[in-house]
Amino acid sequence: MGTEKRTPAQEWWLRFFNEVVYNSLAPAYNALDWLTFGAWWRLVRRALDYVPDGGRVLEVGFGPGKLHVELSRRADRCFGLDLAWGMCQFTRRRLRRAGLVSRITCGSVFELPYPGGAFDTVVSTFAFSGFPDALRAMREVARVTGPGGRVVLVDIGLPSDGNRAGTF
Ligand SMILES: C[S@@+](CC[C@H](N)C(=O)[O-])C[C@H]1O[C@@H](n2cnc3c(N)ncnc32)[C@H](O)[C@@H]1O
C-alpha cells in the first residue's frame, strides 16, 4: 500500500499526477468517470456503504469532490483535505453549487491540521496508493480518528512488475 519500492517509471507517473494533473487539470480528472463509463464512480461510491450517517467526517485526498458532495449531505460536520489547490478550488465550487457546506483545507495527509480523535469517520479513495509513505499517512489518519471511529479506504495497487499499461 504505497510502501513497496517503486520503479523509476512509476515514480515519474506519480510525480506527473501530483504536480500536473491534480493541480492544473481537476476538470480533466473529473472526466475520468465519464471516460470509464461510470466505472470509476461505481468503485469510489462503494465507500458510502461503510460511512454511517451523521457524525464528524473527514475525507483525505478528495480530488474533484464527487464523493465529498455525498459525504457532506450525510455528515453532521464534514471536512476535506487535499494537497492540490486545483482540486480544493474545484471541490469548493462544486459544494457551493450544491448548496452544501464542508470545511475544505489545502494540506498534506502527513500533517493533518486537526486535533487527535477529531473524527468519527475518515474516508479516502484512490489516494493512499499515491502517497509516498502510506504507513506514515495511516498513522496520521489513526491519530485524528476517535475511539470506535472508522477509517474507510477504497484503493488499488501499482503492478509490482512496473508494466506501463497497468501503471497508467
Ligand atoms: C487519485 S486522486 C483520488 C481523488 C478521489 N478521491 C477519487 O477517488 O477519484 C488522489 C488525490 O490525493 C491528493 N493527494 C496527493 N498527495 C496528497 C497528500 N500528501 N496529502 C493529501 N492529499 C494528497 C491529490 O491531490 C489527489 O486529489
Residue 115 has pLDDT above 90, yes or no: yes
pTM of the model: 0.88
- Write the pLDDT tens digit of every residue in 83-95: 999 999 999 999 9
The preferred substitution site among 25, 30, 48, 62 for testing ligand 1, maximizing ligand atoms within 8 Å of CB, is 62
Residue 68 has a pLDDT of 98
- Write the pLDDT tens digit of every residue in 140-154: 999 999 999 999 999
Residue 26 has a pLDDT of 84
Report residues whose beta carbon is within 6 angstroms of any ligand 1 atom: 18, 22, 44, 60-63, 81-84, 87, 108-110, 125-127, 130-131
- Write the pLDDT tens digit of every residue in 26-67: 888 888 888 889 989 999 999 999 999 999 999 999 999 999
Task: Give the Cα separation of 75 and 52 in Å (integer).
Answer: 8
**Which ligand 1 atom is the nearest neighbour of the CA of 22?**
25
The preferred substitution site among 21, 69, 131, 135 for testing ligand 1, maximizing ligand atoms within 8 Å of CB, is 131
What domains can be seen in the chain, in order of their start residue? 8-167 (3.40.50.150)
